Amino acid sequence: MTWDVLSMIGTVAFAISGAIVAMEEEYDILGVYILGIVTAFGGGAIRNLLIGVPVSALWEQGLFFQLALLSITIVFLFPGNLLKHWQRWGNLFDAIGLSAFAIQGALYAADMNHPLSAIIVAAVLTGSGGGMIRDLLAGRKPLVLKAEIYALWAVLAGLAIGLNITSAPAELYGLFILITALRVFSYSFKWHLPIKRLSTHN
């Protein structure tokens, strides 16, 4: 049940996030649907490739595709004057998707008895993979590659699950809320990781 709920939350959140970005970039209706779907399922596809799960397993998730399509349709049909106020929530949906999918990816790898390193990688790629593809297709610099703290929260989720700190459903939901909150705080208060700049002067 926890697995399914987190998957649904992540799918809806990232589908909405991708649709909002597409509309911000003034993509047509097809572009909005494509970017929403790619954002919702891109991270899972990358994760499956790396931990040995057939990518075709994604096509068995009919309910999740329906949820994603419904979410994108609702966002696309949302009144334009109200959607302008919703655009500020794009980062929140992205944070929810990051948290839900990072935990889901870590659980996936843990259930396959992969080592801690693989669990962390699965968490990072599932949590941030869809967002990376979305940003690249939208011509933006991927958040995960910026100094702004993003993938670190997925690493934290992977560690918590890989070290068996959280395993019960209530603990996993608590971890989901914590990771989402940390991501929101990191962009609200502009927390950054260290940057090393190379001089461009001769």
Q: Which of 8-17, 54-63, 181-190 shows the lowest per-residue confidence on average (mean pLDDT)?
A: 54-63
pTM: 0.86
Rounded Cα–Cα distance for residues 84 and 82 (Å): 5
pLDDT at residue number 166: 87
What is the per-residue burial (b if ≥16 Cβ within 10 Å, else e) of 154-168? bbbbbbbbbeeebee
HEC sequence for 2-30: HHHHHHHHHHHHHHHHHHHHHHHCCCCHH
pLDDT at residue number 1: 58
**Are the C-beta atoms of 100 and 70 separated by less than 8 Å?**
no
Model confidence band, residue 62 (pLDDT cutoffs 50, 70, 90): confident
pLDDT at residue number 165: 92
pLDDT at residue number 24: 87
pLDDT at residue number 200: 62
* Of residues 40, 31, 35, the one with CA closest to residue 12: 40
pLDDT at residue number 155: 95
